Amino acid sequence: MSSNAQLTYQLGSTTLLIDVVVDSSRVNIPWEILWGPDDRLWMTDGPLITRWDPVTDVIDTLIDRGYGNGLGMALHPDFPNTPIIMAVFDTADYYASNTWCEVSRFIYDPVND
């Protein structure tokens, strides 16, 4: 595992210790970041949905849409028993003055990742 940088900030009388676990050398533009019930960090990262494992320090690409940028993501409240992932992505036309976004529903296969 790579060594992690720790930052210290003073906020009034409170000292904040911040550990950098994944930096911009390993991800592109993570937007939605959530802690999954599998104890991994799930992220939309450009056209990808990725997952970081803090034990192995590995980032897996679960989905690559090939276009657009992930804006939001939610795992089903009964995940992984109901392995549904909902995500919203902008489209390739979004930055060309188009306001279209796509909401996608994915079914996660834990056997094949």
2-11 pLDDT tens trace: 455 578 889 9
d(CA 34, CA 42): 5
Q: Give the pLDDT confidence of 92-110 residue by residue, as tens digits.
A: 665 666 677 889 999 998 8
The answer to whether residues 42 and 30 touch, using CB atoms and an 8 Å cutoff, is no
d(CA 24, CA 76): 28
Helix H, strand E, coil C: the string for 51-85 is EEECCCCEEEEEEECCCCCEEEEEECCCCCCCCEE
Blockwise average pLDDT, block size 10, the chain, 113 residues: 68 89 83 92 93 93 89 93 93 67 89 81
- The structural domains of the chain, with segments of one domain joined by +, span 24-107
d(CA 62, CA 89): 15
pLDDT at 7: 85
How many C-beta neighbours within 10 Å does residue 107 have?
Answer: 9
24-107 is classed in which CATH architecture? Beta Barrel (2.40)
The answer to whether residues 73 and 34 touch, using CB atoms and an 8 Å cutoff, is yes
61: which strand partners? Answer: 50
